[in-house]
Structure 1
Amino acid sequence: MPTLFSRIIAGELPGRFVWQDPEVTAFLTNAPLRPGHTLVVPRREIDQWTDAGGALLGRCTEVAQAVGRGVRRAWDAPRAGLVIAGFEVPHLHIHVAPVWDMSDFDFSKAKPEEDQSALDDAAEKLRSALLELGYEQARDTARR
């Protein structure tokens, strides 16, 4: 049975994408720690990051770094936080979010965003920042 993320990637469920390439995609979480909180996900289903091959894990990290640059630019954040937790969905994913201090990593504060337009706006803001930084993988990713 496909994971929740595989279903989002396949277009069976809505997603606010900010990055697409042949191996990795990135989309906003619907329960953000902060606006711009993005999940970097390999297209191939891999349960845990420790099970990923070095090349794929490296590619996921490269994309997370690019997204991190984008969230810093879009929200003028002093840092881009990165977390690999792996408990929510059995599909490797890297959390990237703009952060100001350690309290921004408190996942108990993450709640589903009720204002869907806020998610749309955050996705557009991040896509624009990524394009300004020269990342063409952000172009034409707005499908839901």
Structure 2
Amino acid sequence: MSIFTKIVNGEIPAYKIAEDENFLAFLDVNPNAVGHTLCIPKQEINKIFDIQDDLYLGLMAFAKKIAIALEKTVPCKRIGMAVIGLEVPHAHIHLIPLNEMDDMRFQNKVSLSNTEFEELVEKIKENL
């Protein structure tokens, strides 16, 4: 069972932004930039291109909705999207507010307090 499935099941806390029957969006706890969000299918599927077409298209539409709210919330030039999938064997999309190309590098991390994470979640939810 992946760490993301444990989040879906409520076994591990997360800074949840939105969820529906099939998908969940939550803030990355080790973010590249303020607002770095992960969108996942609730069903544990290892690789993004193993997801059945209807679920895959649903995940993309869900991520788009989150990205639009994120861009309204976090000052940035645009929202970048990455699918890497090496660190957790559960398909996921990274949505990262970008002001420069280095914001997409997974070597640059920012640190936020618990309160900053919680306040950010509420601000993003207001823009959904």
Shared fold per TM-score greater than 0.5: yes
Q: Say whether 1:105 aligns with 2:104.
A: yes
Q: Say whether 1:60 aligns with 2:45.
A: no
| Matched AA of 2:124 | L
Shift of 1:78: 2.1
**Large movers: runs of 4+ above 3 Å:** none
CA distance in 2, matches of 1:114, 1:13: 19
Correspondence for 1:27: 26
**Residue 125 of structure 1, aligned match among 119, 123, 126:** 123
TM-score, normalisation: structure 2: 0.94
5+ unaligned residues in a row in structure 2: which ranges?
A: none
CA distance in 1, matches of 2:71, 2:91: 23
Correspondence for 1:134: none
8 Å contact 2:102–2:108 — kept in the other structure? no
CA distance in 2, matches of 1:114, 1:70: 20
Correspondence for 2:113: 115
Aligned residues: 128
What percentage of aligned pairs have identical amino acids?
Answer: 29
- In the TM superposition, 1:1-144 aligns within 5 A as 2-110=1-109, 113=111, 115-130=113-128
| Matched AA of 2:30 | A
Q: What per-residue deviation string (whole Å, max 9, x for no partner) do you get for residues 36-77 of structure 1? A: 111000000000011111111111111111111011100132
8 Å contact 2:38–2:94 — kept in the other structure? yes
